[in-house]
Structure 1
Amino acid sequence: MTTTPLIHRERGLTIPSTAVFIAGEIAGTGILALPRAVEDTGWAGLILIVLCAVLSAYTGIILGEAWTLAAELFEDCKGHVQNPYQILGQKTYGKAGRYAVSICLHITMFGGAVVFLLLAAENMETLVKALGHDISFCFWLLMIAGFLVPFTWFGTPKDFWLIAYGATIATASAAVIIVVSISLDAPKQISTQHQKADFKKIALALGTIVFALGGHPAFPTFQMDMKRQKDFKKAVSCGFIIVSLLYIPVTSAGYFVYGKSLNDNILTNLPTGGLSNAVLLLVTIHLLLAIVIVVSPVMQEVEMVLHVPRGFTWKRCVTRTLVVACILFMAETVPKFNSLLSLIGGSSLTMLDFICPILFHMKMHQLKAEADKPATQNKTLETVQASWDEQTNHIPLWRKVLNYEILAIGVLAGVAASVSAIINIVSPDSFSTPCYVNISRAAT
């Protein structure tokens, strides 16, 4: 694999622009789905969102640190790499690590794009219907996918940084309008009641929360495009602060005002009118732009496998158009988006967000210690022992304990959320006729 740097220093992403990319990729579906998720878990769900945001930021930071160590140890990790997360898996756990990351990444990013497309089509159907026209949800899927195709032909994140800013600004504007709209509607809600939480609902909600705060599959590609890759931890911290500032007000307002009347998509709870239509449009803009961001790592690896040139060619256009066609097919087939969201959040995204970053970080430190060990072979026994102790204690005890706790929580929560989502998807009331069977079907 070539390691020739593809990014000139002056063209690399800065800390603010990388933070905006992170926020633009993550924030969006959470604004729509988290209020209901909190209702399913109770008020403790608000604390759970903050906790998951902190843990996600932490694992994002150590994922960046793991890649920095890899770049120091391996020549083929220097410069720009098209599939950094997969390469990191290979450097730490061989082919098994690479294939595991690749499978999880494709499921997560591809599935996330499907969810975004479903939500965008549902929003457009609702918006146009409010304006007096009735266009099928299935037709909207076709039109939106066709609209997105040219935008997917851009190269790597540095080539479409304006899309990230557009997605973040659209989400921030939508969040403000949602809170204002809920505040205006609050006096009409005579009494707010909340339902009792049960294990299944909590498990599904946990998967939704993980999905809403998950962006790690694309993080290494963002780090690749930075001017200074070592500054990635600052960008991650800033990015999750932005996301939290968008999520918490909307989620709190929806939970305390609407309670158990909350729907899977909070936009359906808002009173109809100009504000509601504005939110629908802004959120849809975010979803469209976010699809371009989240699917980029998948497209880059597909191109690498097919040996598509890195420059702009007709082969790139054809390859990426086919990927969009596959996303469209899944969107035309898949049932309710909330179940798919919980399944992805509980399975592949949990692996990439919580489990892989910790395992790769700890293994990379071990490799670093082993690489430094030969330099001490000609020294005295006491010097060798002291040097080795220093290398093997590079990870503080508190971080080791935290890492193992996150691993345990990630595995248990991931299994619970995945099983609950699968049960929910295969249940009879979740079945939905595919669009290619009934093209005039409306959103469910």
Structure 2
Amino acid sequence: MDSTDIHVDIRNKEVDTVLDEVCSRARKAQNAQHALKNMTTEMKDDLLRAIADAVDARAQEIENANAIDMKDAKENGMAVGLLDRLLFDCARVRSSLDGMRHIATLPDPIGKVVRGLNMDNGMRLVQSRVPMGVVGMIYEARPNVTLDVIALCIKSGNAVIVRGGHAAQRTNAATLSIVHDVLQERGVDESLVQTVDDFGREGAQALMRARGYVDLLVPRGSAQLISYVAENATVPVIETGAGNVHIYVDKSANVEKAIPVIINAKTQRVGVCNAAEKLLVHKDIAEKFLPRVATALTQANVNLRCDERAFVILNSAGIPCHRATDEDWDREYLDYIMGIAVVDDEQCAIDHINRHSTGHTEAILSEDYSAIETFTRSIESAVIMVNASTRFTDGGQFGFGAELGISTQKMHARGPMGLEELTTTHWIGYGTGQVRA
């Protein structure tokens, strides 16, 4: 889905008609979710394994549908990084299924006691985890999200309604068809997993307005999409962040370790939100370090956009580079482009990051314990990596099996979101006839 895919007039009568239809689907999802709450952990895990097996057996159907989506996207000029994110061939399908099967092995968060206490009057209070209810997902060309969110929602006891966007519409339809077949075979209400893709952009708009029917909405995609949903939705929203991700190379950094980390963070997959977009280098090592890392980056086909000091160093070394504009420092490229700046000290790096970051992931490469502690204490982002690639910011890498997204808000859900982030809590008070004086 393009970032403008949901920008419609909310007063449009057609949109209001779609809203009625989406609310009707959400009402059915509520009923299906109530039934899901009565399923045991074993039953939910068995259902996940059945879905994984069925999708595995029919993965070629998804790949075939994805090939058509990929062809259309290429003809429409989609950027290389985004094309990589759209690709969902058999290998990637099965990678997602590995995550689904892993989720089936994880502890069930539902019923987990968060805290409890005994009141002076003898009452016992217990706070425990319960499902959110109906979860809506609006996402762009990321077909893996469809399987990820289904697995996470079923295990955490939630119904889910997805809007997966035009670019991956055939891929998502093929995936959902298989999932619905399994639900039907298992006697599970198909309304547990629904889509509003058939309503196009109006479906996304309706999900945003389905207050009282959708308990949580998670947008996942470009900064423009996320901002639009957060600013216009009337249902509760958790923002997943665009990734203007920084790496700071301290003067004490081990150069031999630093360069492979930077190359991996930038180039392993350029179209994902945890790919590094900016490189900040301490001035004391810039003269020696920058030519080495820049050579490695250019050999990996990365275009370099430099501040004045970095430009002078690299230009003098004969390394191709361009001067950065003011806009570069706030951009998430999702492409073979990296911004490079020389900073006077660690505090300048921290100030630069906190000013320009989207609050997703930052990294420090350093052998100085004091510098590391100052950096990790001062950076205002959801995840901070120390001497490691930013590409590890991922629910699968964190052991969650999959992720709903990576929250950049300073709320209960921050960073990669897994099963527990799809729950809320309730309190139960156990008494023996107590009354309040």
Please, what TM-score do these two structures have when normalized by structure 1?
Answer: 0.23
Query: Which of structures 1 and 2 has the larger relative contact order (alpha carbons within 8 angstroms, sep 6+)?
Result: 1
Bigger strand fraction: 2
Please, what TM-score do these two structures have when normalized by structure 2?
Answer: 0.23
Bigger helix fraction: 1
- Please say which structure displays the higher CA radius of gyration: 2
